[in-house]
């Protein structure tokens, strides 16, 4: 056995646990789901090859798919920009050399750690239910008897948008790091040039922050497309009322594990992958027109 081969063997043996995990838990399921997306498979019987039928049905004969698309796109379009604006506003405020910055940073980051949990989704339910905290507050303050925000099809989705915005912590931390990267003398030069705070923000801060905005936008868009837990918990896994919170992933979950249409759900999953890929590719294509890289 040559010395070089021996050395490589040692390297690969160290990599082996990860390689096994990667093959069994990532590559395996991906390959399987591609295969299953071309089959009719319901867990009880072996998969039956049906070609493109699942994809044809998704495109032409599934009104709930279009409802889920509509709900998900609305959620993405509302939650991503609002969350980014909110996160950037807080980051700008925290970037003013505040005392106890680390404490505030931790406090503002907390919702992001808790936000994705079932407990918070339950809490959200308590706040926006008919007799929830919000309505009690409205009644106390204005005498207004509000509806059940999560049971009302026209407002339910917006409570989930609010929950998403509330989880602004990770974006905020990244914005804060980005703001710290902007050299102070840019602002000093601008103040000598007579630029007001607002002009400095729009003409210097925002353009110099575009790489960070771009990064956050891509990550948050992907996350928003994949949003699941909050809708699942708040709607009790139904996506109701009247499918108004039927996120794409929730519909996919229902098809796979409630209706046991594993093959069809796999096809849905791949459609989502393609949608996310298209969005990401478009984002990268657009980046050259609005993202300013220093070097």
Contact code string over 207-246 relative to another protein, x by CB under 8 A? xx-x------------------------------------
| 145 makes contact with another protein (CB under 8 A) | no
| 286 makes contact with another protein (CB under 8 A) | no
Q: Which stretch binds another protein (CB under 8 A): 25-33, 111-119, 131-139, 178-186?
A: 178-186
Please, which residue, 162 or 195, has the CB nearer to another protein?
195
| 189 makes contact with another protein (CB under 8 A) | yes
Q: Which stretch binds another protein (CB under 8 A): 57-65, 84-92, 161-169, 201-209?
A: 201-209
| 26 makes contact with another protein (CB under 8 A) | no
| 82 makes contact with another protein (CB under 8 A) | no
| 188 makes contact with another protein (CB under 8 A) | yes
Q: In angstroms, give the least distance from the CB of 215 to another protein.
A: 16
| 294 makes contact with another protein (CB under 8 A) | yes
What is the CA angle 246-78-256, rounded to 5? 25
Please, which residue, 15 or 177, has the CB nearer to another protein?
177
| 195 makes contact with another protein (CB under 8 A) | yes
Count of positions on this chain that bind another protein (CB under 8 A): 20
Binding site for another protein (CB under 8 A): 183, 185-186, 188-195, 199, 203-204, 207-208, 210, 292, 294-295
């Amino acid at each position: 056995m040559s010395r070089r081969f021996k050395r490589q063997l040692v390297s690969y043996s160290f990599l082996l646990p990860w390689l096994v995990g990667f093959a069994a838990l990532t590559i395996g399921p991906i390959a399987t789901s591609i295969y299953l997306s071309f089959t009719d498979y319901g867990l009880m019987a072996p998969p039956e090859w049906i070609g493109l039928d699942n994809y044809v049905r998704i495109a032409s004969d599934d009104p709930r798919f279009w409802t889920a698309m509509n709900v998900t796109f609305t959620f993405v379009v509302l939650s991503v920009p609002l969350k980014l604006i909110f996160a950037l506003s807080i980051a700008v405020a925290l970037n003013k050399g505040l005392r106890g910055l680390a404490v505030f940073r931790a406090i503002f980051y907390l919702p992001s750690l808790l936000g994705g949990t079932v407990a918070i989704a339950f809490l959200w339910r308590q706040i926006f239910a008919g007799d929830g905290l919000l309505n009690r507050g409205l009644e106390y303050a204005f005498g207004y008897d509000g509806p059940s925000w999560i049971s009302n099809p026209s407002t339910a989705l917006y409570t989930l948008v609010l929950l998403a915005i509330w989880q602004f912590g990770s974006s905020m931390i990244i914005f804060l790091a980005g703001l710290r990267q902007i050299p102070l003398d840019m602002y000093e030069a601008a103040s000598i040039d007579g630029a007001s705070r607002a002009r400095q923000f729009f003409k210097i801060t925002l353009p110099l922050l575009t790489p960070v905005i771009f990064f956050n936008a891509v990550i948050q868009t992907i996350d928003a497309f994949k949003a699941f837990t909050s809708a699942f918990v708040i709607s009790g896994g139904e996506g109701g009322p009247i499918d108004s919170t039927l996120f794409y992933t929730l519909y996919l979950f229902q098809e796979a594990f409630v209706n046991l249409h594993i093959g069809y759900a796999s096809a849905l999953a791949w459609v989502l992958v393609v949608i996310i890929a298209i969005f990401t590719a478009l984002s990268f294509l657009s980046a050259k027109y609005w993202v300013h890289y220093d070097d």
